[in-house]
Structure 1
Amino acid sequence: MSAFRQTFTYHRSINWFPGHMARGIRQIKERLQRDVDLVVEFERLARRKRRLIVYNKADLADPAAEEPIRQAFTRQAHQSVVFTDANNNTNVDVVLQHAADAARQSAQRLARTTVMVVGMPNVGKSSIINALRRQGLGRGKAAVTGAQPGVTRTVAGTVKVLDNPEVHLLDTPGVMIPHIEDPITSLKVAVTGGIRDHLADEEMMADYLLFRLNQLGNAGYTTVLGLESPTDDVHRLLMHVAARIGAIRRGGEVDLSAAAMFFLRKYRDGRFGRLTLDDVNASTIAQHLGHK
């Protein structure tokens, strides 16, 4: 077959900033000023507070990206970075230790320390809280989680995760920047589940995912989907998937949207292996940090 596409053209920027996000940002800022000692952060929001940068769902990402990211944050931003998998407690103890250290070093010597968990939708903030609670206290689930973004919609009460020193976590709603300027960046956010699926074109997301898989030389999707060989034709792929899963509407019409969502779910579940949509290297990370 001919060579795979080398470029992907997309002009629509997918943006999602509902009212609960604007309200959530206001609540976060208010709590930051009042009683927060440490911020466990998935994206920069707290500028003057002590911060710990967490990349959750690291089990789904390319492991080769970890060291360049860690070095860049250490050298350029002087920030600690932890890569976690909350579902399997990977490095959860490291986050817990940072929280304990913040409690012990608190200049106010308060009876309890409050840690705020902030970040974009669907990065696993509530999962981290539940994992820290399991690890620190041996107790069950305290924060509600879900496959779609937007489950947590307000800054609520705190969840105790450690007795000595006493540490409480504050869950927050996922917050998005009001406008993502670059269409491809917004498409990446949608593909990874950071924007509600119905707001994006499922077939376009599937096409971009197919493009990136081929660009990265990742042909694992052929085995998972039962394809004879890799393809650069998303219509061919979705027709195959639709037939495989029985995605047929009344009247015999093929449901390509359902096939696209099946393809996307397999990616989000890690069935195609560990991969990162961004090109992660020293140059791209430096550019990213320079825009912070």
Structure 2
Amino acid sequence: MAFVGLGGGCSPGRRGVRRVICCSEDVDNKLVTFRQCFEGFKRIPVDAHTLRLIREEVSKIRDEVKVIVEVRDPRVPMSSYSTMFKQWRKELNTESMVIYTKAEIVPEDQKERIRAFTMDQMDIPYEQVFFEDLRRVRRLRTPDRQEMVSKMKRLALLRGQPTVKRESYKVMVTGVPNSGKSSVVYVSTRTLTKNRKRRGLYSLPPVGFQVGTTKVIGQNWLTLNPDVVLLDTPGVISKSHTGAEDPETPYKLAVCQCISLTKMSEQTGITAKEVADYLLFKLNQARELTYTRIYDLILPTDDIDEVLQRVPGATDELKALRFLRDFQRNKLGFLVLDDIP
């Protein structure tokens, strides 16, 4: 439904026509109202194959893993978490780190809220929660000296010295798909010695923008003394991500591209347009109305069709994907989709 009401100011529109633009005061003064709930949620299936693969691999190295590094997306600090990771930490008796990627898009006040929530949730100290701008880290000449990697080594050392000479510490990197796990491994291991490369003990992990780039558990060496082996694992969609506990979770993950929209559509019939509609609902609820300026809308709206009319693309699905991609690239403003305390 399109909104009708008076705006808070005027701005030149297309072809010289003056248009009325809605401002935040209009929303606060109830001149514009938004829907209070989103209906029609659907659940997604558990990725049983990947879960079985990882459990089998973890059982083989359970006595060697010293640290579990969980990589999360800061826009979904709760939804990108799985109780399975906490269970592994308990079973393997390991130390834990949480790394939030995409730090460049997170305002400082939001970082502190997310950090405090994570410390309480995982029962870990302040210094074991990181926000990393991986684009910046890629440009460093000696990324193995960065604070994040040094912390991995120190946490591994807390679990005791290797029992065999030249034995390596193993650090398992986990998280939901497309959260930045392989990128964390990549920026941490790209300054390896030429000797290790010649001996075939090293390979850069595949890194891509598409969900599901990593298919198997891969080992990547860090040139630290003692040696540390990073285990890059495939992204995990567990029961807590399917919507069984919170029906919004798969939609939040899909908005941040932590779930493949193609697979989501094939398995459940959820379309990109439905996910885009959910994002519009969350933007309006948070009063993050940057999209009205980006897409040259007169007023904010709850009608996804009205928004998509202004988005470039040949079909509604392509327009919806463009709308989601603009959010993922922070063009529509930063928004934490989870309701963290």
Q: What TM-score, normalized by structure 2, do the two folds share?
A: 0.71
CA distance in 2, matches of 1:65, 1:137: 38
Matches within 5 A, 1:36-185: 36-42=65-71, 43=81, 44=85, 45-47=88-90, 48-61=93-106, 63-75=108-120, 77-79=122-124, 80-89=128-137, 93-109=146-162, 111=166, 112-134=168-190, 142-156=204-218, 158-178=219-239, 179-181=242-244, 182-185=246-249
Closer, same or farther: CA 105–183 of 1 in aligned 2, 3 Å: closer
1:226 corresponds to: 296
CA distance in 2, matches of 1:16, 1:60: 30
CA distance in 2, matches of 1:137, 1:218: 47
SS of 2:99's partner is strand
Q: Is 2:283 the counterpart of 1:240? A: no
1:13 corresponds to: 43
Q: Which amino acid aligns with 2:169?
A: T
Larger Rg: 2
CA distance in 1, matches of 2:274, 2:216: 31
1:288 corresponds to: none
Q: Which amino acid aligns with 1:102?
A: L
Shift of 1:106: 4.2
Q: Which amino acid aligns with 2:103?
A: A
Contact 1:15 1:180 in 2 (8 A): no
CA distance in 2, matches of 1:10, 1:277: 18
SS of 1:98's partner is helix
SS of 2:208's partner is coil
2:324 to 240, 248, 264: 264
SS of 2:65's partner is coil
Shift of 1:119: 1.0
Contact 2:289 2:300 in 1 (8 A): yes
Q: Deviations over 1:5-36 (max 9, x none)?
A: 222123311335152343123323432x1321
1:290 corresponds to: none
SS of 1:10's partner is coil
Shift of 1:46: 2.6
Q: Which amino acid aligns with 1:151?
A: T
Closer, same or farther: CA 17–103 of 1 in aligned 2, 3 Å: closer
Closer, same or farther: CA 226–76 of 1 in aligned 2, 3 Å: closer
Closer, same or farther: CA 228–240 of 1 in aligned 2, 3 Å: same
Unaligned 5+ residue runs, structure 2?
4-31, 72-80, 265-269
Contact 1:13 1:186 in 2 (8 A): yes
Shift of 1:97: 1.5
CA distance in 2, matches of 1:75, 1:239: 43
Q: Which amino acid aligns with 1:164?
A: N
Between the aligned residues of both structures, percent identity stands at 30
Q: How many residues align?
A: 269
SS of 1:87's partner is helix
Contact 1:155 1:170 in 2 (8 A): yes
Closer, same or farther: CA 29–85 of 1 in aligned 2, 3 Å: farther
1:214 corresponds to: 284
1:286 corresponds to: none
Q: Which amino acid aligns with 1:215?
A: Q
CA distance in 2, matches of 1:216, 1:223: 16
Contact 2:313 2:322 in 1 (8 A): no
2:267 corresponds to: none
Shift of 1:236: 0.8
CA distance in 2, matches of 1:145, 1:215: 34
Contact 2:255 2:275 in 1 (8 A): yes
Q: Deviations over 1:206-253 (max 9, x none)?
A: 101111111111122223333343222101111221xxx241xxxxxx
Q: Deviations over 1:235-292 (max 9, x none)?
A: 1111221xxx241xxxxxxx111110010111111111222111222xxxxxxxxxxx
CA distance in 2, matches of 1:233, 1:86: 36
SS of 2:153's partner is helix
Q: Deviations over 1:140-165 (max 9, x none)?
A: 98111122221111112x21223334
Q: What TM-score, normalized by structure 1, do the two folds share?
A: 0.81
Unaligned 5+ residue runs, structure 1?
248-254, 282-292
Contact 1:14 1:187 in 2 (8 A): no
SS of 1:240's partner is coil
Deviates more, 1:9-18 or 1:188-197: 9-18
Closer, same or farther: CA 94–274 of 1 in aligned 2, 3 Å: farther
